[in-house]
Amino acid sequence: MPPQPLGRSGARLAKAMNKLGWHWWPSDTTVATVDYEGRARCINLGHCTPGCAQGAKASTDITYWPVALRAGIELRTHCRVREITTNEHGMASGVVYYDKDGVEQFQPAEVVVIACNGIGTPRLLLNSASGRFPDGLANSSGLVGKNLMFHPYAQMYGYVDEPTDSNRAPPTCLWSKEFYETDPARGFVRGYAFQFGRGVGPVFEAVASEAKGILPWGEDHHRMFRKLNGHRLAVSAICEDLPEEHNRVTLDGVLKDSHGIPAPRVDYTIGENSTKMLEHGIARGKEILAAAGATNICVNNPILYGGWHLLGTARMGTDPARSVVNEWGRSHDVKNLFIVDGSVFVTSGGVNPTSTIQAIALYVADQMKQRLANLFD
Amino acid sequence: MSAVSALTSTQRDDLRVVAAMIVPASTEYKVPGADDSAIQADMIATLGRDTDVVRAALDHLARLAGKPLADLDPARRSAVAHEFRASGGNAAATLTRVVLQCYYRDDRVVRSLGLELRPPFPKGYALEQGDWSLLDPVRTRPPMWRRIS
């Protein structure tokens, strides 16, 4: 499948990266650029994040779910699992959940697979504590809920003299891994990817620029708005957060959800390594924008509305004392319990995690099939 | 509570005045101000979950002004507006967002920006291919990743 066109924004940013001699590549966007398996190709509607009327965006409702349903899966929506139950052998025996009418139900199971991500998964495991598993299910290591990682994300943006693609295309055009690998000279380990944005629409531009103080109230508003609107280029550093046990998910002692299930409590501080990485990314991002001819350069650090991917709280590993699931996703403690979400990450990676989560889920599913004869050994 | 009664008459008056201070009408760009009646009606009708916060913002504005904004002389009104934005926190930011989002979705304003008055779907938009030879220098770089042994 070919990449998205470079567009005006991509071409301008690509020239800037070439000028600096830095790596870049057209971005994958999870969007079909040609007709594909019954889905029509992208026609640049622009509003990819909330949904795609064209069906070009590969969201799970039109990719995995139809295939699963055709294979005979029963999907029960508007349900909320309270706990995973276990039997006298220490195996998972099913789940207790509330159905769409709020009625408590029990679903027996031979195998339980969790995909609730970095907060929901530890919450469920911790809420599944029992006499046999007093510290929560699958938690003999004590690591369920610990090592919570996000993607601290610094965004730099500026304005160029020529029109950009604005919000009339998928938001991301290029990325770069120039600063992805460890370089000791930088003062931090691991690194970050740059993600390049094509621009935004008028409402977003007006609200964001006013809040940033570059779009005035009053007489000069219109002149300034026309200078900014449709002229934005953006670059974001998506940093590889590292595992730190004090960043964690626990159960709140007071808060409960509408079903009375204890709510998760999140404790997290951006670490020193990630802070240094953000600072490095901001400096390099400003250089890129300057090379692209941008002015009025602004920084959001960290951004508030993205990058908070939920990772690391049921980490994968071969040592049961230092991990929650083994190298193919099975709980070390409960041999018919599998986890296939971002909680099994051991570091966060400096990229958006969905593709990796999918790869892990597919890998674990393949492993389960291949090991079916001795899956619980 | 109806959308109209979400704000008192005084609050609606102050909203109209402060909206015009944020985005005044312009003969140069041939656009209405954010105090335009259709734009104001959009704000009131779509306040939704912002209602309580906008009400709090207007209360803060009223406290700073001491009387209806419209009754202040321009210099005092400007000083109050400045103080409102500086000290109003999330409430002032929310009010400003409500004003701007309703203003910049008004057909007359969108047209003045040179944008088509239509939803993106089903026609979509054209995106220039760009010059793919820009990738040539990247393709000639040596590998920059670690090889898995």
- The model's pLDDT over A268-313, given as tens digits with 9 standing for 90+, comes to 999 999 999 999 999 999 999 999 999 999 999 999 888 899 999 9
A183-203: average pLDDT:
97
For residue A71 the two structure tokens come to 């294979």
Return the H-helix or E-strand segment holding A29.
Answer: none
pLDDT tens for each residue of A213-241:
999 999 999 999 999 999 999 999 999 99
Q: Is the peptide bond before B122 cis (omega within 30 degrees of 0)?
A: yes
- The pLDDT of residue A328 is 98
A-chain residue closest to B78, CA distance = A218
Interface of B with A (CB under 8 A): 21-24, 26, 28-29, 31, 81, 85, 93, 96-97, 100-101, 103-105, 110, 113, 115, 120-132, 134-135, 137-138, 141, 144-146
Please indicate whether, in this complex, the C-beta atoms of A11 and B120 are within 8 angstroms of each other: no
pLDDT 10s digits, A309-366? 999 999 999 999 999 999 999 999 999 999 999 999 999 999 999 999 999 999 999 9
Across A193-208, average pLDDT: 97
Nearest CA in chain B to A5: B129
For residue A193, the SS3 value is strand
- Quick check: A20 pLDDT over 90? yes
Whether the full predicted model's pTM is greater than 0.90, yes or no, is yes
User: How confident is residue B3, by pLDDT bands cut at 50, 70 and 90?
Assistant: low
A99, pLDDT greater than 70: yes
Q: Which residues make Cβ contacts (< 8 Å) with residue A301, sequence separation at least 6?
A: A154, A155, A278, A282
The pLDDT assigned to A237 comes to 98
Residue B6 confidence (pLDDT): 86
Whether B102 shows a pLDDT value over 60: the answer reads yes
All residues of chain A having their beta carbon less than 8 Å from the beta carbon of residue B23 are: 217, 221-222
Q: What is the pLDDT of residues B32-69, one digit of tens each?
A: 999 999 999 999 999 999 999 999 999 999 999 999 99
Q: Residue B4: is its pLDDT beyond 70? A: no
pLDDT above 80 for B2: no
Q: Is A219 exposed, middle or buried (0-12, 13-18, 19+ CB in 10 A)?
A: exposed
Q: Helices (DSSP H) in chain B: which residue ranges?
A: 9-22, 37-45, 51-65, 74-87, 89-103, 107-112, 136-139
Among candidate residues B40, B53, B58, B57, the one with its CA nearest the CA of residue B4: B40
ipTM for the predicted complex: 0.95
Q: What is the mean pLDDT of residues B17-23?
A: 97
Write down the residue that tokens 């007071």 correspond to.
Answer: A254
In the predicted model, is pLDDT for residue B1 greater than 80? no
Q: Which residues of B touch A222 (CB under 8 A)?
A: 23, 26, 28-29, 31
pLDDT at site A102: 97
